[in-house]
Structure 1
Amino acid sequence: MDQKPYLVLIDADTRRRAQISHALGTGIHVEPFESIGELGNTFHPDAIALVNDAEDLVGSLLRELADAGEWLPVIAYSENPTTERIAETILAGAMDYMTWPFDATRLGERLSLVAKRAAGIGAVRRREVSARKRVHKLTRREREVLSGVASGLSNRLIGERLCISPRTVEIHRANMLNKMGAGHTSEAIRIAIDAELVD
């Protein structure tokens, strides 16, 4: 990494937090937190979260970040994780998984790897999270209209597909644009694509 890594450490175990913080010494800036609630919603732009995978802490963090329209690269860790648990956590959005105990050298290597991967996908992930948050504001019917619009269907064809009138489609379409903060249809389509609502 070109600059000093910035690590957000979330672990309810005081002793383990201290061990990890101490082991990393001065090479990595560590901000230790006992819980997600203590973390708040302000993140260093280059932060990587190292999170103890206990009581679905990793999943909770990923969901809270998504709800806030934020994204943060996450490395999960625990003692004796099962292969299934590692796979579930990675599929939920963590970028890496480590087995505790680990040493500072090993963690430093993983942080470098995750930072490089995050630099490549960070902007895409942030855009995706933001888009999903905007789409989440829509009603089911407005999402259906958005999907139709993004598929290139006219108001008449969307109406036929949804068994509603073209005028009703227009009303849903206007509401959809307003809720999403989209100035025009092409912007709404881009948001739908970013949210993976359409291919």
Structure 2
Amino acid sequence: MNSPNLAITQETVFVVDDDEAVRDSLRWLLEANGYRVQCFAGAEQFLEAWQPHQHPGQIACLILDVRMPGMSGLELQERLIADDALLPIIFVTGHGDVPMAVSTMKKGAMDFIEKPFDEAELRKLVERMLDRARSESSSVQQQRATSERLSKLTAREHQVLERIIAGRLNKQIADDLGISIKTVEAHRANIMEKLNVNTVADLLRLALSSKPPVP
């Protein structure tokens, strides 16, 4: 049975395969091991339902058939790459598709499995994909939080921060910007408060994790 939409509230394994028997088999194997599974008969159907911007921070992975009518698995991978999708992929391959599967890995797919499936191997690969998805989701959330804090800075504070990152002293920053040292100190204090950091080391770590734009 195919899912009409993706109300993602927990870790999910998506299965896209035009073969109903394969979809049912994967669903049975994965659900028996405690995974939430959503199946689609084609790439187009998956794309219609998959809206990651509505589910920020989602933890999910994709098991994708290489050969399908209409949009192939390879074309769907290209589409997801173009959309900067953080969705780890395992390709399902038949005999003779291994060279093609290797090519998909060079484009970012994590692995591929051959039919018929080995349950233990499949379970290990899915858990590895979800581990990667968790890590990427955590990184994205941290970057988003950092960007939100940096957006609170004024244009002048961004200029001061850029020079702090470059290792310039207060006097040098004052000379660079044509302002007094006391004004630089005031800007530094405001930057520390807005970014909620207590030390210069913390400030540098935060700023370098999401380099602020130059005003």
Q: For the structure 1 residues 116 and 142, does the alpha-carbon distance in structure 2 shift closer, same or farther, using more than 3 Å as the test? A: same
Runs ≥4 residues deviating over 6 A: 138-144
Which of 146, 152, 168 does residue 153 from structure 1 map onto? 168
Deviation of the 1:124 alpha carbon: 5.2
- Structure 2, unmatched stretches of 5+, are 1-9, 65-73
Query: Separation in 1 of the partners of 2:92 and 2:24?
Result: 16
Q: Higher Cα Rg: structure 1 or 2?
A: 2
Which of 43, 46, 50 does residue 62 from structure 2 map onto? 50
Query: Separation in 2 of the partners of 1:23 and 1:57?
Result: 24
How far does the alpha carbon of each residue in 1:47-94 deviate from its partner, in whole angstroms, 9 at most, with x for none? 331164424233245x256xxxxxxx623426543645423316xxxx
Query: Which residue pairs with 1:165 in the alignment?
Result: 178
Which of 28, 31, 38 does residue 38 from structure 2 map onto? 31
CA contact (8 A) 2:91 2:113 kept: yes
Secondary structure of the equivalent of 1:114?
Answer: helix
Matched residue type, 1:49: C
Query: Separation in 1 of the partners of 2:89 and 2:106?
Result: 13
Q: For the structure 1 residues 7 and 185, does the alpha-carbon distance in structure 2 shift closer, same or farther, using more than 3 Å as the test? A: same
| TM-score normalised by L of structure 2 | 0.50
CA contact (8 A) 2:146 2:210 kept: yes
Q: For the structure 1 residues 122 and 59, does the alpha-carbon distance in structure 2 shift closer, same or farther, using more than 3 Å as the test? A: closer
Query: Which residue pairs with 1:125 in the alignment?
Result: 139
Which of 107, 113, 117 does residue 88 from structure 1 map onto? 107
Query: Which residue pairs with 1:9 in the alignment?
Result: 14
Deviation of the 1:110 alpha carbon: 0.5
- Percent of counterpart pairs with the same letter? 14
Query: Separation in 2 of the partners of 1:82 and 1:141?
Result: 51
Q: How large is the Cα RMSD of the aligned pairs? A: 4.9
